[in-house]
Amino acid sequence: MESRKITVTVNGQAHTRDVETRMTLADFLRHDLGMTGTHVGCEHGVCGACTILLDGRTARSCLTLAVQTDGHAIDTIEGMAPNPKDKTAPMHPLQEAFRDNHALQCGFCTPGMLTTIIELLRDNPEPSADEVRIAISGNLCRCTGYQTIVAATLDAAKRLKAEGRKP
Amino acid sequence: MKPPPFSYHDPRTVAEAVSLLSTLENPKLLAGGQSLMPMLNMRFVLPDHVIDLGKIDGLAYIREAPSKEGGNALEIGAMTRQRDIEFSELIAAKHPLLREGILNVGHRQTRNRGTIGGSLCHLDPAAEQVLVCLASDAIVTAAGPNGERAIPFREFPLAYMTPNLEPDEMLIGIKIPLWPAGHGYSFLEFARRHGDFAVVSVAALLDVDAGGIIKRAAVALGGVAAVPLRMDAVEARLVGQKASEELFRDAAEICRAIDAVADVHATVEYRQHLAAVLTRRALVQALAKVKR
């Protein structure tokens, strides 16, 4: 099997590894870096569970090869809460809004939803409910019926505005 | 659901990529990866070599330039991301049909990576960018070992998902001759869900004079057949006539005679029906957008 040495910055920290050239970014994050927050659902770009931010833009990590990200920056769900080790510290306002609005049940789609919505809120800090629905149209959720996810997103937009914070 | 083993190549120039293409056994070009990667994961394709075009400079651009054929043309590099087309002010102003088409392509996550050249070469018969290029008489440029070759888009789809490219050629650029300012345009599609491939899609362009007479019309249909169709008969029925809903209805009925395909999503008759209905609606919308 062919492999290559790559250096990828994940959530601000550089990682250098030898990876098989055929390895997807999703498998690299989960298996090589142990960051299992990025979930793998369909493995062919339909479900959106593996969505990460690549140089600040969402991408399906199952449709990206790890070798393609050499020298690039990745943000995953692990980097979202400011202080993930402290269970009592507040999470990101979007995560708080998800919890308060019951926007997750099993949680499988949640990492992909959150990364997708972060990009939406950065581009469009006050989206309409319709715009939220279009933004999450590439992310499947089989529990919530999406209603609470839309509500949580609108709530998060309000919280961020009230706090004067960027997503 | 993992890609098969392959050798990975990341050339820095078009010449290097073409040389790899012509010397390696069973290679496959990787552009944005939004079609090839699922096909690798599902092992629908088993290349021995994957040639990643992502590190070649100079293949991602959007610009307006004078065209040899007269007037100005939009020039788009093959590796231009769909996202950059979506947010291009130049495209929104000069070729809004392309922007309308792009908004129906997949989702934000896939448009961030997917490229226009990748979609044209994948050549799904229901692909939006393919349809817009066909309706707009785009000219694509391919690079091969003997230099570059310009291909009118009507000659680009050879058969189901088969572009008019030699095995050692790669698409490098797309040129779209611009329609006059204020032309009418519409892109409509029927899909089961937002972002899915269309069951039937239509792209329409209209140029109408001050008296309401149609000077020029372009209508193309996607999803109905193995390749996207340019509807010459519909256009011929429109040009020289006074634009009206009756005329559009009459012209759109021609679509019921299309030799349409059937699959799990729709029957032949349903596709013909959608083609006629969507064509009529697109022409009505295009006329409403004409600004003189």
Flag whether B56 is in a domain.
no
Which pLDDT belongs to residue B98? 98
- Which residue in the set A44, A134, A137 is minimally distant from B41, CB to CB? A44
Residues B36 and B103 in one domain: no
- Quote the tokens at residue B50: 């994957």
Flag whether B73 is in a domain.
yes
DSSP E strand stretches across B31-138 = 49-52, 62-66, 72-77
Structural domains of chain B, count: 3
Report chain B residues whose CB lies below 8 A from the CB of A43.
1-2, 41
The parent domain of residue B273 ranges over: 198-289
DSSP E strand stretches across A11-156 = 13-20, 51-54, 57-60, 73-75
Which pLDDT belongs to residue B55? 96
Flag whether B14 is in a domain.
yes
Answer whether A137 sits within 8 Å of B194, measured CB to CB: yes
Residues B117-142, mean pLDDT to the nearest whole number: 97
Candidate CATH numbers 3.10.20.30, 1.10.1840.10, 3.30.565.10, 3.30.70.360; the one for domain A3-79: 3.10.20.30
Could you tell me which CATH number the domain at A93-163 has? Answer: 1.10.150.120
> A27 to chain B, minimum CA–CA distance in Å?
9
Average pLDDT for chain B? 96
Asked if residue A137 has pLDDT above 80, the reply is yes
Residues B130-139, mean pLDDT to the nearest whole number: 98
Report chain A residues whose CB lies below 8 A from the CB of B38.
44-45, 63
Residues B78 and B167 in one domain: yes
- Which residue in the set A22, A24, A63 is minimally distant from B113, CB to CB? A63
- Which residue in the set A43, A64, A119 is minimally distant from B108, CB to CB? A119
Answer whether A135 sits within 8 Å of B108, measured CB to CB: yes
Single-letter code of the amino acid located at B68: K
Report chain A residues whose CB lies below 8 A from the CB of B33.
63-65, 68
> A87 to chain B, minimum CA–CA distance in Å?
31
Q: What is the pLDDT of residues B149-167, one digit of tens each?
A: 999 999 999 999 999 999 9
Residues B253-271, mean pLDDT to the nearest whole number: 96
Residues B129-146, mean pLDDT to the nearest whole number: 98
Inform me whether the C-beta atom of residue B2 falls under 8 Å from chain A C-beta atoms.
yes
Domain boundaries, chain A: 3-79, 93-163
Q: Quick one: closest CA in A to B34, which residue?
A: A63
- A&B contacts, CB < 8 Å: 92
In chain B, residues 95-154 whose CB comes closer than 8 Å to chain A:
106-110, 112-113
Asked if residue A85 has pLDDT above 90, the reply is no
Residues B136 and B79 in one domain: yes
- Which residue in the set B4, B10, B110 is minimally distant from A22, CB to CB? B4
How many CA atoms are closer than 13 Å to the CA of B29, on its beta-carbon side?
Answer: 32
Angle between helices B245-252 and B268-289 (to 10 degrees): 150
The CATH number covering residue B279 comes to 3.30.390.50
Contact B108, A45 (CB under 8 A): no
Asked if residue A126 has pLDDT above 80, the reply is yes
Answer whether B41 sits within 8 Å of A119, measured CB to CB: no
- Which residue in the set B8, B52, B195 is minimally distant from A137, CB to CB? B195
Residues B15 and B72 in one domain: no
Candidates A2, A20, A44, partner chain B, best to mutate (most B CBs within 10 A): A44
Class of residue A129 by CB neighbours under 10 A (exposed 0-12, middle 13-18, buried 19+): exposed
Asked if residue B287 has pLDDT above 90, the reply is yes
Residues B220 and B262 in one domain: yes
Q: Quick one: closest CA in B to A21, which residue?
A: B8
Flag whether B101 is in a domain.
yes
Flag whether B192 is in a domain.
no
Contact A51, A74 (CB under 8 A): no
